[in-house]
Chain A
Amino acid sequence: MQAQSRDRALPELLSHDNLIRSLSVQRVIAFFQRFESVALPRNLNWRGVSATVAVAVSIVVIASVAHPALERVQPRLLSVLTIVELLAFGLVLSSTIAAARANDDVRRLASQSEALYAFTTSLAAASQLDQMIDAMAIHFPKTFGRPIAVMLPEGDKLAVRFCSSGLEFGETEREMMDSAFRAGRETGWSTNHLSHILCCPLITSQGIFGVLGIAASGSGFLAGNHELRLLRNFVEQAALAITRANLSEKAWHSEALKETDKLQKALLNSISHSLRTPVASVSSLLHTVLEGEHAIDFATRRQLLQTARNESLKLNQLVQNLLDMSRLEGGGLRIRTSRCDVEDVIGAALEQVDAVGARHVSIAIDPSLPWVPMDQVLIVQALVNLIDNALKYSPPGAPIEITARQSGDHIQIAVGDEGFGIAADELERVFDKFFRGSAAEAVSGTGLGLSICKGFVEAHHGHMVAVQRPQGGTEMSILLPVEGIR
């Protein structure tokens, strides 16, 4: 803004009439001061020029004062004086042109600092790496009129994160970017004229965070020119921003770790509660039996011991669930598949569920069902869990329905019950770890059974589905790909 007002001031000051009229010495001094302050060029020898101009103007001033007198006394001298006057004016004019050229520099500097300001502002607004790369993708081409590429380390390699459409970017360019990254200094145009890009590593005191490549063809980035200086400023800002992004990502990571830690503590609390409850009841039941040896009648003692046994079986189930869970989550689950007869799998599962007892179980297996690759042990166990649940969450006399059929490129083994059902909004969550439906609270359980089923089935690249049956109750299905794991 200031530069503009100065632009207007300068020609005004330099107009001949004005100069002629401003005859006081103070005014002349003031003019020089303003002139200096306006066209204060750093790269031209303006002190020499102003000294010359000062001399010329002084002559003009003296001449102007002396003019009327001399006219009368000596006309020839006057013409000489006029020539000197003109000469002086020429000098002033040429210096004005030089000042105007200096003014171009000012304008460019201003627009450059504006561009840099805009770039740093948009970098500062970005909180994530992607946004910073977006800012680079916009501001570099806008400011320099050249396409760019950005490569950042991913693992132990550099990966292209952005590449302007107009940039020729092949294997050679990648290698150059890579060597700039490894060496930590610019390569390309300024060091090797064969290349059409200049690779600038993004360096801060924290290290090297990537490389920026910018098209350098045409006039190129010559050492010491303004464009190169500005480019380095831009690169420096980009590097600082990316460092910041990396640091905040690290901070986020440690935040996420803290969250995991919190989650694990919650899990541990939940597990130790589930473990402690049966342990406490077993030991207090046994205490009662031992200490009241003579006071307790036979039937009561038997009842106490039965409860203790049931509690300890529950404990055993919980430990087994936890082991399965840790096998699933620790990646320790190795599945061995072979083509199995679904009929055999259903039979084996029913064989393992003691609680089936006298329950009516109807089985409908599509006779054309193909044998499907699976780990029999795991699928039988998943099915045992489903049958167990169907029995647990339905009234003692209610029938269980097991069906097996092909559904697209999956086979579907479904266990249906006529039980209490699951609320619609809980159907998705029943497979979550430790989730227990609101209707399930009356029945003891660990909240792990279904999530283990899901884990086993997903290890086969299959999935599980829970739906409400139209006639009431729930249907839980295991879906396995007919072609097995691909």
Chain B
Amino acid sequence: MNDPRPRVLVVDDEIGIRRALHASLSTQGYLVREALTGEEALQMVPSFRPDVILLDLGLPGLGGEGVTAALREWTSTPIIILSVQSDETAKIAALDAGADDYLTKPFGCGELLARIRAALRRACQPDATPVFVAGDLAVALAEHRVKLRGQDVPITPTEFSLLKTFIANANKLLTHRQLIREVWGGAHYEDSQHLLRVNVSNLRRKLEVNPARPRYIVTEPGVGYRLRCETALEERTA
């Protein structure tokens, strides 16, 4: 139990996926445990105390969404959903229930490791950094000021609230629903979706060099947005 290695719980009913993940994560210095079902995973989490959970969406019995919801009742351990492309709706449901990120099968090992590192970093981040810096973007959270390449950027309160939510969840995929809840409160979801899009578009115009190829605020079609920061960018290009 005193193993210093970061702990990963792999929950998947496919032996091929479990073996591949076990092999690649072990060689990267992670301590890996496997669970075959959601129920088994729920039993293992309190004793194994994983740092990250890799959760297959298409589990028999209690599915990915159910497991996420059950875990979120008592733990904020990062959960990365593993799904196939046709699972769109279930994927969004699991993200809305509190999962942190998702990966579409089949995925490369590099991509997986990057997501795990980002999740771990988020988990041990202090709640609020007074100044958030990513690339040529600097945001003073207390002062509500945004600077791009040293220049002040005029920003509306809604845009700032949106940006603050992104920064608090840097590199985490935020669903439309989660963003709307954070920025507009419990407003009507359908109406707010358009508001969200318009504000994201405005933010991009203010922060991105080329809004058609955004560097910071990335769209996950049909799911939501993610603020991509420097560390993740470095991993991507590496």
Contact yes or no, B106 A316, CB < 8 A: yes
Whether the Cβ atoms of B221 and A380 lie closer than 8 Å is yes
B96 nearest CB across to chain A (Å): 16
| Residue from B85, B214, B222 in contact with A347 in the complex, judged by beta carbons closer than 8 Å | B214
A173 at interface, CB cutoff 8 A: no
Instruction: Known contacts A313-B106, A316-B106, A377-B88; decide if A363 and B212 are in contact (CB<8 Å).
Output: yes
In the assembled complex, which residues on chain B have CB atoms less than 8 Å from the CB atom of A350?
212-213
Query: A313 vs B111: C-alpha distance in the bound complex, in angstroms?
Result: 15
Q: Tell me whether B211 and A347 are in contact (CB under 8 A).
A: yes
Given A346-B212, A348-B221, the answer on whether A338 and B88 have CB atoms closer than 8 Å is no
Residues on B with beta carbons closer than 8 Å to the beta carbon of A361: 213
Interface membership of chain A positions 367-382, coded 1 if the CB is closer than 8 angstroms to chain B and 0 otherwise: 0000100011100110
CB <8 Å contact, A347 and B212:
yes
Interface residues of A in 130-180 (CB under 8 A from B): none
Shortest Cβ gap from B47 to chain A (Å): 36
Does A339 have its Cβ within 8 Å of any Cβ on chain B? yes
A457 to chain B, nearest CB (A): 15
* B84 shortest CB reach to chain A, Å: 9
Q: Which of B60-68, B122-130, B194-202 contacts A (4 or more CB under 8 A)?
A: B194-202
A452 CB to nearest chain B CB (Å): 13
Give the interface residue-count category, chain B.
20 to 34
Of residues 334 through 362 on chain A, the ones whose CB sits less than 8 Å from some CB of chain B are: 338-341, 343-348, 350-352, 361
Other-chain residue from B88, B193, B201, B222 in contact with A343 (beta carbon distance below 8 A): B201
Q: What is the chain A residue whose CB lies nearest that of B222?
A: A377
B219 with A344: CB separation less than 8 A? yes
Chain B hits for A377, CB < 8 A: 88, 221-222
User: Which of chain A's residues have a CB closer than 8 A to the CB of B86?
Assistant: 320, 323
Q: Which residues does chain A contribute within 8 Å of B106, judged by CB atoms?
A: 312-313, 316
**CB closest chain-A residue, reference B205:** A343
Closest chain A residue to B220 by CB distance?
A348
A222 / chain B contacts, CB cutoff of 8 Å: none
Task: Name the CB-closest residue of A to B190.
Answer: A338
Does any Cβ of B come within 8 Å of A365's Cβ? yes
Q: B218 interface residue, CB < 8 Å from A?
A: yes
Pair B201/A376 contact, Cβ less than 8 Å: no
- 28 sample A-B contacts, Cβ–Cβ < 8 Å, listed by A number: A320-B86, A323-B85, A340-B197, A341-B201, A343-B201, A343-B212, A344-B197, A344-B200, A344-B219, A346-B212, A347-B211, A347-B213, A347-B214, A348-B219, A348-B220, A348-B221, A350-B213, A351-B213, A351-B214, A351-B218, A363-B210, A363-B213, A371-B197, A375-B222, A376-B221, A377-B88, A380-B221, A381-B221
**Chain B residues engaging chain A, CB cutoff 8 angstroms:** 85-86, 88, 106, 193-194, 197, 200-201, 204, 210-214, 218-222
Q: Which A residues form the contact surface with B (CB < 8 A)?
A: 312-313, 316, 320, 323, 338-341, 343-348, 350-352, 361, 363, 365, 371, 375-377, 380-381
Nearest first, the 6 A-B pairs at minimum CB distance are: A377-B222, A348-B219, A380-B221, A363-B212, A377-B221, A348-B221
